[in-house]
Structure 1
Amino acid sequence: MSDYYQSFQGIVIANRPHRENDAIVKIFTEKFGKKSFFIRNSMASNSVLTNALTPLVCSVYLGHINQSGLSFLKDSDVLKSFLKIRSDPFLQAHATYYLALTDAAFEDNVPQDDFYSFLKESLIKLNSGYNADIVRLQFELFSLRLFGVAPDWNHSQISHKETADKRLNFTLNPPGVILSDEAQNMTVLPVSSKAIHLCRLLANIRPNQLGKLDINPVTVKDALKLLSVFYNDYIGLSLKSRKYLEKMSDWF
């Protein structure tokens, strides 16, 4: 194989038509980070790339990688199509939000192999039928560090005492957990101690470590509200895909 072409794994973030028959496909790759690829005659029925250009599909690609500008694909082999996600509007809304958050978090051409693995694990878990809200909550918790925010869920911001088996509150100034008996004269978010403990649990494991969790749905929703405040008010990130997902969640 010529050094001109390289093999790499990736997950399609977006496929945008270009001119009449071509496309620009954005792929989050394991080796190279986010890359945009020019695909000529992308809709041709005999193209070996057609099945691997759909958003959410995970494939091994063979292509020419340019350090700047558009790169090019020659061949592909689909690894996972995530058919359950793509056939369920609710799950698809979740996955679309994960891709949008990934797209917003990274500049192009910066390798992010650990986050790539986390995204892939999250999609596999979502596709398996696992509780979608818990997968989403864990994904948002992990993604906080991408925006320079990494709350310590295991220790109080004030006393640095361990938070396990304690009643907790959450404050945004500074962002983090405090013990409930330390909350006097502090502005805390209206979120339950159980929801904070759920965040603490999920922030310390990966999607492939998620087992059966007997969690009250109210606690999960409370934890999601905490992350919503964090992303909207503290980070200042407001994605259309997230707003749509939140509206859709109210229907169920």
Structure 2
Amino acid sequence: MLDKVEAIVIRTVDYGETNKIITLLTKERGKVGVMARGAKKPRSQLTAVSQPFIYGSFVIYKGSGLGTLNQGDPIKSFRKIREDLTLASYAMYMAELVDKLTEENQRYLFLFDWLYLSLLKMEEGADPEVLTRIFEMKMMDVAGISPNLNQCVSCGSTETPAAFSIRYGGFLCRSCLHKDEHAFPCSTQTSRLLRLFYEMDLYRLGEISLKKETKQQLKDIIRAYYDEYSGVTLKSRRFLDQLERMNLGTNIDT
């Protein structure tokens, strides 16, 4: 059966001397793996559409096993991202997060739009680190590990949070700080941004410039939360962390 879908390439794996297995995040069917036969040949019509982050229209043949890519037409290549090591590293982390936290042939509401808009904003010059934190927060819902961001997880108070507890999965107010001595202290801005990033409509995303300290608080909390609850290990995260330690990451702190 032939099926035409719009999709973003989120993973590629060489298969044999001339083929690739590519993983697509489709609008219509969620994540789909397909064989791109001959895609490693320089003159193959599939070469151009079998690259990471390509957004295109794909015709696939779906049988009982792995599908086959019959045709592909690129709509947007995100060339700037693919040619920049730092941008490509952040984009690969997002793509791997999608790959590891989703099931094949299951459509997740808004996920395709989130990834496409994140790549688009990144290519247009938005801070890739901030985009990544937003994407991580939104992927928590996909993974089924959403934290409690509306009130103190201990007493239910809606006063300004003083810390984020990985153990209890949400904010603690100042009166409940003693409940978790390992909770991450967080500023008013950090607690506000965690809520904002989780709920944000990426279509309405404007320019966001954050101080170094705020970025670090967000990263520490979100990473620790994923480590505790997601159950996934990402190769791209290790590489991205190495880049950031070498101060190669994009920095627009004010």
Residues 25 and 153 of structure 1: is their aligned pair in 2 closer, same or farther, counting only changes over 3 Å?
same
Identical-residue share of aligned pairs (%): 24
SS at match of 2:210: coil
Moved more, 220-229 or 68-77: 68-77
Q: Is the 8 A contact 1:105 1:146 kept in 2?
A: yes
Question: Stretches of 4+ moved more than 4 A in 1?
Answer: none
Which of the residues 177, 186, 190 maps onto 1:183? 177
Deviations 1:46-105 (A, max 9, x none): 433221110111111122223x42112222221111112111111111011111111110
Q: Is the 8 A contact 1:31 1:112 kept in 2?
A: no
For 2:32 and 2:132, how far apart are their aligned partners in 1?
Answer: 24
Matched, 1:57 2:51: no
Partner of 1:153 in structure 2?
A: 149
- Structure 1 residues without counterparts, runs of 5 or longer: none
Which of the residues 53, 72, 79 maps onto 2:68? 72
What's the C-alpha RMSD, in Å, of the aligned pairs?
1.9
Partner of 2:164 in structure 1?
A: 170
Aligned length in residues = 246
Residues 85 and 191 of structure 1: is their aligned pair in 2 closer, same or farther, counting only changes over 3 Å?
farther
1:214: Cα distance to partner? 4.0
- Structure 2 residues without counterparts, runs of 5 or longer: 248-254
Q: Is the 8 A contact 1:10 1:27 kept in 2?
A: yes
Residues 37 and 177 of structure 1: is their aligned pair in 2 closer, same or farther, counting only changes over 3 Å?
same
Residues 218 and 143 of structure 1: is their aligned pair in 2 closer, same or farther, counting only changes over 3 Å?
same
Deviations 1:204-233 (A, max 9, x none): 103332212342121011111111111113
SS at match of 1:50: coil
TM-score by length of 2: 0.89
Q: Is the 8 A contact 2:38 2:46 kept in 1?
A: no
TM-score by length of 1: 0.89
